[in-house]
Amino acid sequence: MGKRPPRDPQTKDVLLEIQRRKRRRSLLAYGGWALAAVALLILFVGAAWATFANDDDVALGENPSFDPSLTTGPATSAPLGPTTTRPPPPRPDTTAGPRAASPPSTTAEPAPVATATTAPPAAPPSPAANAPVIVIDPGHQARGNNELEPIGPGSAERKPKVSSGTRGTTTGIPEHELVLAIGLKLRTLLEQAGAQVLMTREAANVDISNVGRTQLANEARADLYVRIHADGAGSSSTRGIHVLYPAGISGWTDDIAAPSKQAAQIVQSALVRTTGAKDLGLDARTDISGFNWSDVPVILPEIGFMTNPDEDRLLATETYRDKIARGLAEGILEFVGK
């Protein structure tokens, strides 16, 4: 093979131009890939953030995948939802009086601050200055707290700060979840009627003792303190509604026993009227911390037996929960004279 003939200048220029274009193309291609990689990274980070934010929201509501093992033991034994890992969201608080004097028994978490009627998104009309004040206490919480507290001021007798409650034997719904759902419905109805409403809790993952809840009602000078519970019994045939109220104990409840009993009577008949449930009447009690510490009229409606399959299933429906909330609201408003 002979020597390559030398390229003429024109051919050289063409070859150089071709090489220049090749280089430019590869640079452009490289830049394109780099841009695509950055875009993918942005998308990935965005998606991860969205997932995180959603989880955050869920934790403020009820826990649909409730684990029965969570209902026992002290509340501090394992990490809970985001309520324990971040400060609670700022909440509007239009309640009268400072919150600084909250009871020592509520020190475990900052969450149980009473939330006033003006919280979004319900946006009810602002209550008038003379509006009745109702404190709603949805019983229990996701985990009980077995630390003890005196059952009355100065008492040597002590009871657990808050028990974990019962649960639906058919539906599996925990009591704390049922009574919170009804409490929130009741708040809406009372606010629509012009009352000022405070909730002792609006979430499952809180730690507020029964005495702490009652001190909140005392500080708010509630016209009525309503503690919503559901019942459990050894026999699955036991069903119906009854309302508990404090028996008169000298130095503790003698000043609130009479108005409490009057409220219990009114609310019991309103509940039976709106639900058609079996009327189990009233129960005067001396053993309930949340009564014995109260300085304001207090009742504890037991809205049905979660150990009765029929009543448990009824209590799981929005229709029946609405009937209970309506009965409670009508009775409460009649008692406070609205």
Residue 302 CB, nearest approach to Zn ion (Å): 7
Among 146, 182, 196, residue whose Cα is nearest residue 302: 182
Instruction: Give the nearer residue to Zn ion in terms of CB position, either 71 or 117.
Output: 71
Q: Are 261 and 245 in contact (CB under 8 A)?
A: yes
Quick one: which of 81, 127, 139, 331 contacts Zn ion (CB under 5 A)?
139
Over its C-alpha atoms, the chain yields an Rg (Å, rounded) of 31
165 binds Zn ion (CB under 5 A): yes
Instruction: Give the nearer residue to Zn ion in terms of CB position, either 167 or 185.
Output: 167
Angle value at C-alpha 92, between 86 and 97, nearest 5 degrees: 110
Half-sphere exposure in the Cβ direction for 65 (13 Å, CA): 3
| Total chain residues near Zn ion (CB under 5 A) | 3
3-state secondary structure of 129: coil
What is the C-alpha separation between 18 and 12, in angstroms, rounded? Answer: 10
229 binds Zn ion (CB under 5 A): yes
174 binds Zn ion (CB under 5 A): no
144 binds Zn ion (CB under 5 A): no
Other C-beta atoms lying within 10 Å of the C-beta of residue 156: 7
Give phi and psi for 34, each to the nearest 5. Answer: -60, -45
Query: Which string of x and - marks every residue 175-214 that binds Zn ion (by CB under 5 A)?
Result: ----------------------------------------
Reading phi first (left if > 0) and then psi (alpha if -120 to 50, else beta), residue 39 is in: alpha
Other C-beta atoms lying within 10 Å of the C-beta of residue 194: 17
Single out the segment in contact with Zn ion by CB under 5 A; choices: 183-191, 207-215, 225-233, 272-280: 225-233
Strand partners, 298: 225
Single out the segment in contact with Zn ion by CB under 5 A; choices: 28-36, 103-111, 136-144, 257-265: 136-144
What is the three-state SS of 28-47?
HHHHHHHHHHHHHHHHHHHH
For residue 119, what are its two tokens? 């919280």
Residue 71 CB, nearest approach to Zn ion (Å): 12
Instruction: Please name the residues in contact with 317: beta carbons below 8 A apart, sequence gap of 6 or more.
Output: none
Residue 297 CB, nearest approach to Zn ion (Å): 20
What is the C-alpha separation between 235 and 311, in angstroms, rounded? Answer: 13
Instruction: Give the nearer residue to Zn ion in terms of CB position, either 116 or 243.
Output: 243
What is the C-alpha separation between 119 and 130, in angstroms, rounded? Answer: 19
Query: Which string of x and - marks every residue 25-54 that binds Zn ion (by CB under 5 A)?
Result: ------------------------------
Instruction: Give the nearer residue to Zn ion in terms of CB position, either 131 or 178.
Output: 178
Please confirm whether the linkage preceding 121 is cis (ω < 30° from 0).
yes
Instruction: Give the nearer residue to Zn ion in terms of CB position, either 229 or 261.
Output: 229
Residue 300 CB, nearest approach to Zn ion (Å): 8
Residue 137 CB, nearest approach to Zn ion (Å): 11
Single out the segment in contact with Zn ion by CB under 5 A; choices: 81-89, 92-100, 121-129, 162-170: 162-170
Residue 280 CB, nearest approach to Zn ion (Å): 15
Instruction: Give the nearer residue to Zn ion in terms of CB position, either 163 or 196.
Output: 163
Residue 186 CB, nearest approach to Zn ion (Å): 16
Single out the segment in contact with Zn ion by CB under 5 A; choices: 74-82, 96-104, 164-172, 291-299: 164-172
Residue 298 CB, nearest approach to Zn ion (Å): 15
Residues that bind Zn ion (CB under 5 A): 139, 165, 229
